[in-house]
A = this chain, B = another copy of it.
Amino acid sequence: MRKPKIVILGAGYGGLMTATRLQKAVGANEAEITLVNKNEYHYETTWLHEASAGTLHHDRVRYDISKVIDRNKVEFIQGTAVEIKTEEKKVLLEKGELEYDYLVVALGGESETFGIKGLKEYAYSISNINSARQIREHIEYQFATYNTEKEKDDTRLTIVVGGAGFTGIEFLGELGNRIPELCKEYDVDFEKVKIICVEAAPMVLPGFDPELVEYAVAHLEKKGVQFRIGTAIKEGTPEGIIVAKGENDVEEIKAGTVIWAAGIRGNAIIEKSGFEAMRGRVKVEADLRAPGHDNVFIVGDSSLMINEEINRPYPPTAQIAMQQGEVVARNLAALIHNKSELESFTYDNKGTVCSLGEHDAIGVAFGKKMVGTKASFMKKMIDNRALYMIGGASLVAKKGKFNVL
């Protein structure tokens, strides 16, 4: 009897959770499971702001996929998916192709620049291991270059962060700790460095409790961050950015480093493959299948689910991706076992903590607001939990965060 072929695209939070749960839920003879990922490692997307700032080495932010999958049940292929041919039940890779009976699309998101001119060319985005270490090295190079020039160009030391959402704020928190170190390393006067956060929305961290936001802003300002709220980036240039507050209030901010952390969209492959999507995200069914596709599940940043309470989409987070992965694993097992009833996904919000640097954070967990070291401790527990859910205690021991005050 021919075993059904399950192909999982992507080994981020959603894909790897699907694979590791599925390998426990089905026998080796029941299905042929293939996991495809661009790199041979998984990385913690939610820790990339640390690797980008240089406060945590990028090797601490990734681990080999082979460490967490059961090779008897899951075949791993290092490759890049290019297009999904749903009618032919095939995935085209950069090299070769794969047939499937069931497909899980867990390819993550991409930076969304909303068509703002020059951002793709001149701004960095905190997207993956490669871009994180490039950002780290770029900033270090700017600092290293400063003193070599006869005419000192202080704008080399200006870092603009576009976006005061989760990623932007967490990155600013790390920069707050990192800049004094960089000043020491490269003999640069701290007073010369500028960190500017530009946010088009009228507020920082929309959706967060205002009291917590106030705490975050005050603490980041104390570390030297300047906020430009209600200010839109109009253009990225080789010298920095052009912003506008009102219609006529246009200004150039020269900066040696521009990080764009304000937008995310689904993977480009989604639209290329003909799925109906909004900014590359597919509004999935309750059982996480793509509408009209009985054998295609979509999880993580490329999926879209509406939070009925506020009638707005859930933000794409690691937490929701992992919970989706668990449900997809169970639903795939049900399909393999010929059960017709599939489970509906319901999001269990375990809380959200936004880090503000190594020993500071704000957040809500167990229904309680918290700030400072308490919130920071909670953040580390959340980070460790993600490791535990996918790789168990041994992965936590290897990659966990224990640098608690």
A64 interface hit (Cβ, 8 Å): no
Contacts of A129 in B (CB 8 A): 187
Does A226 lie at the interface of the complex (its beta carbon under 8 Å from any beta carbon of B)?
no
Kindly list chain B residues whose C-beta atoms are within 8 Å of the C-beta of A137. Answer: 137, 140-141, 143-145
- Mark A residues whose CB is within 8 Å of B: 129-131, 133-134, 136-138, 140-141, 143-145, 147-148, 185-187
Q: Tell me which of B131, B144, B185, B186 contacts A148 (CB under 8 A).
A: B131
Contact pick for A141, options B134, B148, B185, CB 8 Å: B134
Most buried by B among A130, A144, A147: A144
Chain B residues with Cβ below 8 Å from A145 are 134, 137
Say which residue of B131, B133, B138, B148 sits within 8 Å of A134 (CB atoms). Answer: B148
| Alpha-carbon distance A39/B143, docked complex (angstroms) | 17
Chain B residue at minimal CB-CB distance from A134: B144
Question: With a CB–CB cut-off of 8 A, which chain B residues contact A148?
Answer: 130-131, 134
Q: In the docked arrangement, what's the CA distance between A46 and B244, Å? A: 51
Q: Which residues of the partner chain B approach A136 to less than 8 Å between Cβ atoms?
A: 144
Query: Nearest Cβ in chain B — how far from A367, in angstroms?
Result: 41
CA distance A133 to B137 in the complex (A): 12
CA distance A131 to B150 in the complex (A): 12
Question: How far is it, in angstroms, between the C-alpha of A143 and the C-alpha of B134 when the chains are bound?
Answer: 8
C-alpha gap A129/B144 in the complex (Å): 10
A23 to nearest B CB, angstroms? 27
Give the distance in Å from the alpha carbon of A147 to the alpha carbon of B138 in the complex.
14
15 contacts between A and B (CB under 8 A): A130-B147, A130-B148, A131-B148, A133-B185, A133-B186, A134-B141, A134-B145, A134-B148, A137-B137, A137-B141, A137-B143, A137-B145, A138-B141, A138-B144, A140-B141
